[in-house]
Amino acid sequence: MNVNQILNDLEKKHPGELEYLQAVKEVLESIEEVYNENPQFENAKIIERLVEPDRILTFKVPWVDDNGGVHVNIGYRVQFNNVIGPYKGGLRFHPSVTLSILKFLGFEQIFKNSLTTLPMGGSKGGSDFNPKGKSSDEVQRFCQSFMLELWTVIGPQTDVPAGDMGVGGREIGFLYGMYRKLARENTGVLTGKGINWGGSLIRPEATGFGAIYFAKEMLATKNDSFKGKDVAISGFGNVAWGAVKKATEFGGKVVTISGPDGYIYDKNGISGEKIDYMLELRATCNDVVKPYADEFPGSIFYEGKKPWEAKCDIALPCATQNELNGDDAKQLVKNGVMMVAEVSNMGCTPEAIGTFIENKLLFAPGKAVNAGGVAVSGLEMSQNSMKFNWGKEEVDEKLKHIMTEIHKSCVKYGTKDGYTNYVKGANVAGFLKVANAMVDQGIY
Binding letters toward ligand 2IT, positions 100-139, x by CB under 6 A: ------------x---------------------------
Decide if residue 89 touches ligand 2IT (CB under 6 A): yes
The answer to whether 155 and 176 have CB atoms below 8 angstroms apart is: no
Gyration radius (Cα) of the chain, Å? 21
Q: Name 63's bridge partners.
A: 71
Query: Residues 172-191: x/- map of binding to ligand 2IT (CB under 6 A)?
Result: -------------------x
162 scored as a contact of ligand 2IT (CB under 6 A): yes
Q: Does 145 bind ligand 2IT (CB under 6 A)?
A: no
Q: Does 372 bind ligand 2IT (CB under 6 A)?
A: no
**Catalytic one among 88, 103, 112, 124?**
124
360 flagged as catalytic: no
Nearer to ligand 2IT, 199 or 307 (CB): 199
Which of 85, 90, 188, 425 contacts ligand 2IT by CB under 6 A? 90
CA distances (Å), 142 to each of 98, 219, 366, 441, in order?
A: 18, 43, 29, 39
List of E strands, 237-368: 253-259, 262-266, 299-303, 314-316, 339-341, 362-364
Total site size for ligand 2IT, rule CB under 6 A: 11
Task: Out of 26, 164, 323, 342, name the contact with ligand 2IT by CB under 6 A.
Answer: 164
Work out whether 343 is an interface residue with ligand 2IT (CB under 6 A): no
* Host H or E run for residue 327: helix 326-334
- Selected range binding ligand 2IT among 176-184, 323-331, 373-381, 402-410, rule: CB under 6 A: 373-381
Sequence letter at residue 115: L
Interface with ligand 2IT, residue 81, by CB under 6 A: no
Judge contact between 402 and 377, C-beta under 8 A. Answer: no
Closest CA to 134 of 161, 164, 171: 171
- 315 within 8 A of 289, measured Cβ to Cβ: no
DSSP helix/strand/coil, 232: strand
Q: Hey, CA dihedral for 171, 177, 178, 183, is it positive or negative?
A: positive
Which range in 14-22, 27-35, 42-50, 82-90 contacts ligand 2IT by CB under 6 A?
Answer: 82-90
Rounded Cα–Cα distance for residues 87 and 109 (Å): 9
The residue (of 191 and 258) whose beta carbon lies closer to ligand 2IT is: 191
- Running DSSP on this structure, what letter comes out for residue 109? H
The smaller minimum CB distance to ligand 2IT, of residues 104 and 431, is found at 104
The answer to whether 374 contacts ligand 2IT (rule: CB under 6 A) is: yes
Q: Which residue ranges make up the site for ligand 2IT (CB under 6 A)?
A: 88-90, 112, 162, 164, 191, 345, 373-374, 377
Residues tagged active-site = 124
